[in-house]
């Protein structure tokens, strides 16, 4: 039995009732660091809420506001100051055609705390993202999505980047890629991770690959 299930249920109830006070209390009482709380509680519970919506058991507004509550709390708890490190190879983080920024926010914090400097593109549509990647000469692009429709757009992102002759390593993450462990390959990504800390190891590996390619 999952020992965190009671906390998952309590947090799910708090988020579905749009209760930010209760959400903050659950975090404080958990004794977890902000990153562990996000990965072990926020992410699984938001996945569960998304599944409820797909079954017609909750409103789209509940998904939207519950995600905003999580983002707001993490914004208060996680570091935002940029790390002092040369950006080599050029790297960027973005949310693709999706309104939820929680996954990107968590990933950005993990990267900064590990000394990585990167472009934070925020929420982008496909056209703008391709333009930014080309303009900034990005070699590693980390893309976060919540909805399946957004995750499937990565395939077109890959096609357009390849068409432009841009050598970009794409790392994807978010609920669709946790539910379907083969999806990242189907959309043409180079790697995926169910957690932000796992993505950090991938970034290190890909950065080494890019440096080797540039030699």
The parent domain of residue 56 ranges over 5-77
CA-closest candidate to residue 86, choices 214, 207, 212: 207
Are both 180 and 97 inside the same structural domain? Answer: yes
Number of domains in the chain: 2
Place of tokens 């432009």: 164
Indicate the pLDDT class of residue 170, thresholds 50, 70 and 90. Answer: very high
Are both 34 and 139 inside the same structural domain? Answer: no
Render pLDDT for 80-98 as a digit per residue (tens, 0 to 9): 555 445 457 999 999 998 8
Q: Is the pLDDT of residue 184 over 80?
A: yes
**Structure pTM?**
0.75
Render pLDDT for 21-73 as a digit per residue (tens, 0 to 9): 999 999 999 998 888 888 888 888 887 887 787 788 888 788 778 888 887 88
Whichever domain contains 49, its CATH number is 1.10.1240.10
Are both 152 and 189 inside the same structural domain? Answer: yes
């Amino acid at each position: 039995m999952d020992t965190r299930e009671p906390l998952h249920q309590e947090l799910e109830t708090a988020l579905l009732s749009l209760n930010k006070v209760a959400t903050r209390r659950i975090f404080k009482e958990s004794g977890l660091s902000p990153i562990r709380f996000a990965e072990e509680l926020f992410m699984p519970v938001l996945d569960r809420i998304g599944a409820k919506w797909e079954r017609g058991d909750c409103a789209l507004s509940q998904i939207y506001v519950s995600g905003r509550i999580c983002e707001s709390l993490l914004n208060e708890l996680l570091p935002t100051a940029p790390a002092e490190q040369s950006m080599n190879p050029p790297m960027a983080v973005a949310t693709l055609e999706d309104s939820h920024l929680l996954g990107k926010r968590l990933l950005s914090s993990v990267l900064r705390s590990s000394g990585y400097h990167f472009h934070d593109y925020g929420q982008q549509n496909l056209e703008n993202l391709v333009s930014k990647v080309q303009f900034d000469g990005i070699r590693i692009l980390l893309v976060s999505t919540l909805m399946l429709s957004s995750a499937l757009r990565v395939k077109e992102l890959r096609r357009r980047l390849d068409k432009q002759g841009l050598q970009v390593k794409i790392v994807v993450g978010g609920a669709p890629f946790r539910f379907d462990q083969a999806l990242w390959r189907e959309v043409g990504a180079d790697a995926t991770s169910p957690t932000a800390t796992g993505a950090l190891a991938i970034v290190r590996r890909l950065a080494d690959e890019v440096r080797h390619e540039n030699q």
